[in-house]
A and B are shown apart, each in its own frame.
Chain A
Amino acid sequence: MEIKSVGDLEIAVIPKRFDAYGAQDVEATFKDIIGKGARRVICDFSQTEYVASAGLRVLLGTAKNLQKQEGILVICSLRSYVKEVFDTAGFTQIFKIYASTEEAIESLQKK
């Protein structure tokens, strides 16, 4: 999974299909960067066509993990179909969602 760093923010580009297959790489990469000290993560969903429950599971797990370590995980650039799945799964209430990467970066940098 592609990761970009902006200051202390890590921007992860979530793959086209965030299903059980795609989630493997995502989970591994997250474990890796968090182990190396990353605490503030922005998940960029601009490439993602759909998210399956396996993806949601990894997202939630990572977010819980980060929260335990005083970190934060936010989401940005959801396509309308993916946003709908998030709504259905109740995830829009759990995560902070931004319209674009720029907005997410700007907002997190203020904190």
Chain B
Amino acid sequence: MTTTILESSLVLLQMVCVIIVIAYLVTRSRLFSEVLGGHPKAKTQAILAVIFGGVSIYGTISGVEVLGAIINVRDLGPMVAGLTCGPVVGLIAGLIGAIHRMSLGGFTAPSCSIATVLAGLLGGLIYLGGKRRFVGIKIAVLFAASMEVLHMLLALLIDRPFSAALEVASNALVPMVLANSAGMFIFAFVITNLEKERRTQQERDGLLREMERKDTELKIAAEIQRSFLPETIEQVPGFDIAAKSIMAKEVGGDFFDVVPFEVIPINKGSTGVVIADVSGKGVPAALFMALSRIVIRVNALWHEKPVDAIRDANNTITHDSQSGMFVTAFYGRIDWQTRTLTYVNAGHNPPLLLRARNREFSQLSPTGIAIGAMENSEYTASELSLESDDVIVLYTDGVTEAANQHDEMFSEERLRNVVKACANSSAQDLIERILEEVKSFCGDWPQSDDITLMVIKVCNADPETLELNVKAVIENLPHLMDNVQSFMRGRGFTDETVLDVQLAVDEAVTNIIRHGYRGKDGVIEVRCRVSAEDVVITIEDSAEPFDPLSMKEPELGDDVESRQIGGLGIFLMRKKMDQVTYEFKNGKNVLTLRKKTMRAR
């Protein structure tokens, strides 16, 4: 029964919609992405062959009568299978569709079935010809159209009676070509889109990998620069120096930071201090800071006078700097003996000096322009003498220009207030206080610039002595050790030296209590004397004459069962101290411990 064109069109439209859904589902499945990858597994190919065979069967079943002929898209499934997966898959899909068609009978059965198989095979050959890549929308649609023409020719060739075949073929040709071309267009469109997506993803993955690689390289670079640009500072005898730098968060610059300060041990008796600030942010600025620090350090070690050091540093840096970058820097040279500070300020924020005698501030003003700006710049130096309890605060403008949400700046005035209020704190504590104040001033407002602070406190000059007389009981050990510890700290010793001295004194005193006095009443006199070169501790007691150094060294390295700990205390004492001597003098045991302090070369 002939149906109207409108009804046929609606049915065709339905068919097209189903094709769209099938195309979308099949091509977006995991199986298909293997195909797009170019190397689908055998199992995947088998499954897809069956799926497309099913599509072919659907094509047969959903056939609709138009103008006296049955229009169907049986060939579509095998064609797509062949075009995307190759001749084998196309062939199998075609066979599935063909066998089903044959089972339905009818005088066009042979030609239709053969056409279906051919569709899959030819599609596969095109796939191979296109070097295993999808041939694109135009060729696919052209192929689909041609295939249907071929189908019609086959019908004319094979189906009998010829007159019936001619009538069917001539009626069906145009609709078949249109339907299958449309179906193929849908598939090809979806597949081409998919391929585009995959390509974009691969590009993106490639870019991500490269970014990771660059990240790793930057991390390695950061480690290398940290090894020759230390972030910790050496202590200077007679001074309490602390410094801290908080970098503003920067994309890509999180780990490549170069702290912009340094304490340079120049020789026996003088130390250089540097604080600097580079124009700009990020990795280029960090590299420039690294360069500048090294150039300044080398010149500081080479030249006697700070003026010469900065002049030469400026010339070197200006000469090498082509990027227009410059660095403001403050370089001061502290002479421990004379307790003077000679400095050059190359365009840097003038450090604050709080005098202990009158509790008033003065500024260490610039004595020349920033380094790296101009060759042969002239610099001058200023000199001042330092007194006990004077405080010098060096800073970068990240401190004074720290802003809060009301657009106010922390300012030098607030900085001065904090310093004055905490003038008696240790250098480290003062820095923490300043940072706290800045943080609470800014609140939630983000940090926009690097914040760097260095505090130099001038300590008491005379090589002081600690004298303690304690009763010879174990209970007094903590008190004695606390005193030794706080005496040693803040006198320019490394933490390790302070611990070494504590350990040695602890052992010596314990020995006297246990083996000297042996529980009897007695007094132990401990005297610590610190000088620029060493610390000397004498420990005297009035117990029986006993030379602790006469004990032999313990055996080391046996297992838990057989170890004996004789003489371990003396052994540790000798290991930690540079010199241990004993004498019996004026009726007293006198043990002298001496440790050379870690000083400038």
Contacts and interface: CB of A to CB of B under 8 A. Distances in A.
Interface of A: 17, 19-21, 24, 49-50, 52-54, 56-57, 60, 63-64, 67, 81, 85, 88-90, 93-95
B560 A89 contact: no
B477 interface: yes
Interface of B: 474-475, 477-478, 481, 495-496, 499, 502-503, 506-507, 510, 513-514, 554, 556-561, 563, 565, 568-569, 571-572, 575
A99 B496 CA distance: 21
Nearest to B569: A53
B565 A53 contact: yes
6 contacts: A19-B510, A50-B502, A53-B510, A67-B561, A88-B575, A89-B572
Contacts of B502: 17, 49-50
Contacts of B507: 52-53
Given A19-B481, A21-B478, A52 B503 contact: yes
B560 A94 contact: yes
A54 B496 contact: no
A93 B558 CA distance: 8
A67 B560 CA distance: 8
A54 B506 CA distance: 10
B189 to A, nearest CB: 58
Looking at A54, A67, A88, which has the most chain B CB atoms within 10 Å of its CB?
A54
Nearest to B485: A49
B477 A21 contact: yes
B514 A20 contact: yes
* Closest A-B pairs by Cβ, 5 of them: A90-B556, A53-B569, A21-B477, A53-B568, A20-B510
A67 B561 CA distance: 8
Given A24-B474, A52-B572, A53-B568, A60 B556 contact: no
B211 to A, nearest CB: 33
Given A21-B474, A21-B477, A53 B560 contact: no
B593 to A, nearest CB: 14
A85 B474 contact: no
A47 to B, nearest CB: 14
A60 B560 contact: yes
A27 B507 CA distance: 18
A19 B499 contact: no
B594 to A, nearest CB: 19
Contacts of A24: 474
A64 B477 contact: no
A58 B554 CA distance: 16
Contacts of A95: 560
A95 B507 CA distance: 22
B468 to A, nearest CB: 16
A63 B559 CA distance: 11
Contacts of B481: 17, 19
B448 to A, nearest CB: 37
Given A50-B503, A53-B568, A20 B513 contact: yes
Contacts of A56: 565, 568
B601 to A, nearest CB: 23
Nearest to A87: B556
A19 B477 contact: yes
A82 to B, nearest CB: 9
A53 B507 CA distance: 7
A66 to B, nearest CB: 9
A90 B477 CA distance: 25
B560 A50 contact: no
Contacts of A49: 499, 502
Nearest to B555: A90
Contacts of B510: 19-20, 52-54
B499 A89 contact: no
A67 B503 CA distance: 29
A31 B495 CA distance: 34
A18 to B, nearest CB: 10
Contact of A52 (B478, B506, B561): B506
A63 B560 contact: yes
B503 A85 contact: yes
B571 to A, nearest CB: 8
A63 B558 CA distance: 13
Given A17-B481, A53-B568, A60-B565, A93 B557 contact: yes
